[in-house]
């Protein structure tokens, strides 16, 4: 295990330049699968954050009852209300829903699964199949919130997929360890994150907490940048959108959308993207908290993304 951080040069290396030579979509197209009648804020925060961090386009694939609500939050998001919750007689089968959603996959570089998904059985079954198709098509994925509940119940859905990033909080991390047969020992958080990643056969794990610990089973990054002192619901959703955007940048880098001399393999870009997302969101949280203190909400954090990105990565 190595305890280190990626260099700022490596992070900046994978960020597409602002250039008139690039056309719409080349700097990243992110899809967020989540959002139900009761939970509409989470997918919005994830998708709008991906745009604020620099993705060109953001799609939200949500449940029918969430679609109009999420559309009303922002005209910048492309909303597809294709998902369905369990009813006595759903008008669409799971396979029919999956076919509608995967028709969007050629338009996307990265997928986020989980924000506002709910634990409805029909929604979870649909999401499981959507993840399986994403694996087959080798689309990088980020899994958070109720998506992690799905992984906890069926670890094989992501096990061995090294283009996947899991973003558990303290409670979710403990449950994932239990699901993978890892005892809660006195080992360091870094060692535990590495062990969990190895149990998932190389899936990158982002253990959120006082420090964010990122491991793909081979390396361990520790992000201890100062954040805000207020914890409000939605910050994890911002992180999922940030990480997805840096992954999308990595796709553009790998496809040589612009000229660059370095050769960072995508296997290394995955944990770099996770670290960059953690670093940026912590910095946004600190800026927002310094400005509004105890009244800070996730929307305050989102307003800081542009200035923080400029200050951290464009210099």
pLDDT tens column, 208-219: 999 999 999 999
Q: Identify the three-state secondary structure at position 79.
A: strand
The Cα 129–Cα 194 span in angstroms is 27
Residue 203's pLDDT band (cuts 50, 70, 90): very high
Q: What is residue 282's predicted lDDT score, i.e. its pLDDT? A: 98
- Beta partners for 166? 143, 205
Q: What is residue 4's predicted lDDT score, i.e. its pLDDT? A: 85
Q: Is pLDDT above 90 for 186?
A: no
Instruction: Please answer whether residues 76 and 48 qualify as being in contact, where contact means their C-beta atoms are separated by less than 8 angstroms.
Output: yes
Annotated binding site: 116, 169-175, 208-212, 227-237
Instruction: Please answer whether residues 123 and 38 qualify as being in contact, where contact means their C-beta atoms are separated by less than 8 angstroms.
Output: no
* Exposure string over 124-140, b if 16+ CB within 10 A, otherwise e: bebbbbbbeebbeeebb
Annotated binding site for ATP: 208-212, 227-236
Pairing of the two strands 212-215 and 141-143: unpaired
pLDDT over 90 percentage in the chain: 94
Residue 315's pLDDT band (cuts 50, 70, 90): confident
According to DSSP H, which parts of 154-297 are helical?
A: 170-179, 189-199, 235-254, 266-292
Instruction: Please answer whether residues 159 and 134 qualify as being in contact, where contact means their C-beta atoms are separated by less than 8 angstroms.
Output: no
Residue 290's pLDDT band (cuts 50, 70, 90): very high
Q: Is pLDDT above 70 for 2?
A: no
Count the helix, strand and coil residues of the chain and give each as a percent rounded to the nearest 5.
50, 15, 40
List of residues 6+ apart from 220 with CB closer than 8 A = 1, 2, 3, 4, 190, 193, 194, 213, 214
List of residues 6+ apart from 282 with CB closer than 8 A = 212, 223, 225, 226, 227
Annotated binding site for (6S)-NADPHX: 116, 169-175, 237
The Cα 187–Cα 172 span in angstroms is 18
0.75 surpassed by pTM? yes
Residue 1's pLDDT band (cuts 50, 70, 90): very low
Q: Identify the three-state secondary structure at position 63.
A: strand
Q: Is pLDDT above 60 for 3?
A: no
Walk me through the domains of the chain, giving residue ranges and CATH numbers: 8-13+24-314 (3.40.1190.20)
pLDDT over 70 percentage in the chain: 98
According to DSSP H, which parts of 109-234 are helical?
A: 121-136, 146-153, 170-179, 189-199
Give tens-digit pLDDT for 65-119.
999 999 999 999 999 999 999 986 778 999 999 999 999 999 999 999 999 999 9
């Amino acid at each position: 295990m190595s305890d280190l951080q990626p260099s700022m040069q490596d992070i900046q290396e994978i960020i597409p330049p602002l250039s008139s030579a690039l056309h719409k979509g080349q700097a990243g197209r992110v899809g967020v699968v989540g959002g139900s009648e009761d939970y509409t804020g989470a997918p919005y925060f994830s998708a709008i954050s991906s745009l604020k961090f620099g993705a060109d386009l953001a799609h939200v694939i949500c449940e029918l009852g969430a679609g109009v609500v999420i559309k009303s939050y922002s005209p910048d998001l492309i909303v597809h209300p294709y998902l369905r919750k369990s009813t006595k007689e759903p008008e669409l089968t799971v396979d029919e829903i999956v076919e509608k959603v995967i028709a969007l996959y050629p338009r996307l570089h990265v997928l986020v699964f989980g924000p506002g998904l709910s634990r409805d059985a029909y929604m979870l079954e649909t999401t499981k199949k959507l993840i399986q198709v994403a694996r087959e098509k080798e689309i990088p994925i980020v899994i958070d919130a109720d998506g992690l509940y799905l992984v906890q119940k069926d670890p094989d859905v992501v096990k061995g997929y090294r283009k996947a990033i899991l973003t558990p909080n303290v409670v979710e991390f403990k449950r994932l360890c239990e699901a993978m047969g890892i005892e809660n020992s006195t080992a360091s958080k870094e060692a535990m994150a590495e062990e969990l990643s190895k149990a998932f056969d190389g899936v990158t794990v982002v253990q959120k907490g006082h420090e964010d610990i990122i491991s793909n089973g081979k390396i361990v990054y520790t992000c201890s940048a100062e954040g805000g002192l207020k914890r409000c619901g939605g910050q994890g959703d911002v992180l999922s959108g940030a990480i997805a955007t840096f992954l999308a940048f990595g796709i553009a880098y790998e496809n040589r959308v612009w000229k660059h001399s370095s050769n960072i393999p995508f296997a290394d870009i995955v944990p770099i993207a996770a670290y960059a997302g953690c670093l940026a969101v912590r910095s946004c949280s600190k800026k927002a908290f310094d400005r509004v203190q105890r009244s800070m909400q996730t929307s305050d954090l989102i307003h800081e993304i542009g200035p923080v990105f400029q200050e951290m990565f464009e210099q």
